[in-house]
Amino acid sequence: MIFPSYNKRMSRLKIVWPTLVLLPLAFLFSQGGGSITQQYKETADKLIAAALADHDGYNKLAYLCDRIGHRLSGSPALEQAVIWSAAQMKRDGLENVVTPAVKVPHWVRGRENAEITAPVKRRLTMLALGGSVATPSQGITAEVVPVGSFDELQKAGRAKIAGKIVLFNVPYEGYGKTVQYRGVGASRAAALGAVAMLLRSVGSLTQQTPHTGMMMYLPDAPKVPAAAITAEDALMIQRLSDSGDKVTVHLFMEAHMEPDADSANVIGEIRGREKPEEIVVMGGHLDSWDVGQGAQDNGSGCIASLQAVALIKKLGLRPRRTLRVVFFTNEENGLAGGRAYRDWVGARVNNHVAAIEMDGGAEKPLGFGFGMAPGPQSERALAKAREIGRLLKSIGADSMTPGGGGGDISPVMEAAVPGFGMNTVGVHYFDWHHTPADTIDKIKPEEFQQNIAALAVLSYVLADMPDRLVE
Ligand SMILES: [Zn+2]
């Protein structure tokens, strides 16, 4: 009896033994001692220290915001921003600075106003939605029918909607969920005979602030004017209506499309020292809505990307691969810049090791979302990305979560390039997004520095590590 029992114990030990040997390695690997984390710890700490001491980045962002201002596609300010950005990249020592031409949609807001005319007279704070058509020159005066959802709209039906202005008074339940009313609300209302659409701004309930943004017309409905009003004004109309009064609004808008305009992406790089043909591309979008300063959305993403690379350069680092910064044009109302970049690189898209985008504002960074088609390759790539992420633990930006990317880099991600999107705490971003309040004072210098640090470390290591992120 003793032998079988002994043998059993031995065989168990044989299984346990290699596990015990491997455990410390696996432990190190998962606890921050993995080869990428170890190899780049010193460099990452230098980059982080440089970013946290940097004021130059914030000063550049202040120039863009205060001296150039908001930058809608087709505006003279966007063209000025393109010229300034290319010059700035050259001043920062980037190589191969180019501004390939991109044709962009040119929507113009014009004059606009809205007011409640009955049962009380009250001026409304409004912004036409991007892409909207104008009202007739005398404006539109009509009864407002508030609805809380598409279901309510359908239930009301043509009998209650025809000839009226529909107000989508939809509470904000997160951007991804609520933005559909901005996107297609006008067409859904017009399909039932509505003459215009008002939208409770897609954003948190704060400060009587209207939020603009892109809308589109569906092919099967008449094009009617569409505008955002503030959440506060939407709630007032709802209360007046609920009390049994007929609420009428006068709406006047000159919004219209003009022929496509000339714009450009702005591109600069640090050429790789060993594999210059392999690319890590990083950036944000230079255009903005035509209100505020386009500070959080998305001057911050452009300038943080530039400053990250400027600091890499300043520290005398030249990665193995080419590190490229792109300020994309026309993200907000067309994505022409992102698509033009994809066309510009052509077959060289296969040489793209990774794409990084910061377009969620510059609040305190948490880390990155990693986007790639699921499979064993993406599991391995995510594990490597997490090793890089650990280098950002000292600034609390070490999270690396599955799923991420950005609008501008989506065309290259569709060509199987792995994408990273900066994630922040996002506490206030949707208070300011697409509003007159998106100004640089909302960006805390120390949080902007942390964003620069996170971009510098991620982009440098991706560009320098011996193996490609995805083999
Ligand atoms: Zn944006």
Q: What is the dihedral sign for C-alpha 249, 254, 259, 260?
A: negative
Q: Tell me, what amino acid is at 277?
A: E
CA distance 319 to 114: 55
Identified catalytic residue from 112, 269, 331, 363: 331
Question: How, if at all, do strands 365-371 and 419-424 pair?
Answer: antiparallel
For 426, residues 6+ apart whose C-beta sits below 8 A from its C-beta are: 360, 361, 363
Percent helix / strand / coil, the chain, rounded to 5:
45, 25, 35
* Ligand 1 centroid, distance to 219 Cα (angstroms): 26
* Ligand 1 centroid, distance to 358 Cα (angstroms): 9
Beta strands in 212-342 (DSSP E): 226-229, 248-253, 256-264, 266-270, 275-285, 321-328
Q: What is the dihedral sign for C-alpha 303, 309, 310, 312?
A: positive
The pLDDT score that the predictor gives to residue 21 is 42
Positions in the chain short of pLDDT 50: 1-33
* Ligand 1 centroid, distance to 435 Cα (angstroms): 12
361-416 pLDDT, tens digit per residue, is 999 999 999 999 888 899 999 999 999 999 999 999 999 999 999 999 999 999 99
Q: Tell me, what amino acid is at 377?
A: Q
Residue ranges, CATH 3.50.30.30, the chain:
110-254
φ, ψ dihedrals at 74, nearest 5°:
95, -10
420-441 pLDDT, tens digit per residue, is 999 999 999 999 999 999 999 9
* Ligand 1 centroid, distance to 248 Cα (angstroms): 34
* Ligand 1 centroid, distance to 332 Cα (angstroms): 6
The pLDDT score that the predictor gives to residue 30 is 44
106-129 pLDDT, tens digit per residue, is 999 999 999 999 999 999 999 999
| 80 alpha carbon, distance to own chain's centre | 22
CB-CB contact of 233 with 199 (8 Å): no
Strand partners, 228: 127, 199
Residue ranges, CATH 3.40.630.10, the chain:
34-107+260-464
CA atoms within 13 Å, Cβ hemisphere of 34:
17
Q: In 10 A of CB 410, how many CB atoms?
A: 17
Q: Is 471 in the active site?
A: no
For 222, residues 6+ apart whose C-beta sits below 8 A from its C-beta are: 190
* Ligand 1 centroid, distance to 142 Cα (angstroms): 34
CA distance 166 to 8: 77
What's the pTM? 0.91
CA distance 161 to 223: 15
CATH number of 34-107+260-464: 3.40.630.10
CB-CB contact of 313 with 273 (8 Å): no
* Ligand 1 centroid, distance to 311 Cα (angstroms): 24
Ion ligand 1: protein residues whose beta carbon lies under 5 Å: 297-298, 359
* Ligand 1 centroid, distance to 233 Cα (angstroms): 26
Nearest to 295 by CA among 70, 59, 57, 60: 70
* Ligand 1 centroid, distance to 239 Cα (angstroms): 33
* Ligand 1 centroid, distance to 381 Cα (angstroms): 26
Burial (CB count within 10 angstroms: exposed 0-12, middle 13-18, buried 19+), residue 138: exposed
* Ligand 1 centroid, distance to 360 Cα (angstroms): 7
Say what the alpha-carbon torsion angle 119, 125, 129, 135 is, to the nearest 10 degrees. Answer: 50
Beta strands in 40-176 (DSSP E): 95-98, 101-108, 112-118, 122-124, 126-128, 140-147, 165-168
The pLDDT score that the predictor gives to residue 34 is 59
CATH number (3.50.50.60, 3.30.70.3000, 3.50.30.30, 3.30.1540.10) of 110-254 reads: 3.50.30.30
